[in-house]
Amino acid sequence: MSIRTTRNAKSIVAKSTELALAVPQVVAHRVARMANAGPTLSARDLKEFNGMVAEKHVAFAQAWQAMATHTMLASQAMVFSFARSFWSPTRARITPAKVAAQVQGLALGVLGKGLAPVHRKATANARRLGRSKRR
């Protein structure tokens, strides 16, 4: 595994761990807020509840867009790599291990691109809601 692939894998593991810690905090805060809100919502509660639906649409749309774009670029990189090996087979020796490493690196890249917007929004919410709870 190359250094870049290892770094990408560690980044994905770190982001997944942070996401696994942030999501329950956000859910707990919002469920408690819903329970305390009662039948009449304040303007602040209404803004929060409407925002929590809209932010998911935006984050997942950004994730899908980033993954689609990265998949297209990764596919092009694979095609160019294979084409390069066919045009100069003696210079660019492609082994099954190299192909597997390249595919693994590209898959990690797609996963990382998809995880980034969701991670960014969830951890930002955890920080924001954690601050408002202390006030």
Structure pTM? 0.75
- pLDDT score, position 100: 86
pLDDT < 70: residue spans in the chain: 1-5, 89-92, 132-135
Helices vs. strands in the chain: H and E counts, helices first = 3, 0
At 64-94, the pLDDT tens digits run: 999 999 999 999 988 888 887 777 766 667 7
Residue 133: closest CA among 27, 6, 29: 29
Taking the C-alpha atoms of residue 112 and residue 67, their distance in angstroms, rounded to an integer, is: 8
Please state, in angstroms and rounded to a whole number, the distance separating the CA atoms of residues 99 and 28.
44
Which pLDDT belongs to residue 7?
A: 75
66 Cβ contact list (under 8 Å, min separation 6): 113, 114, 116, 117
pLDDT of the residue at 86: 77
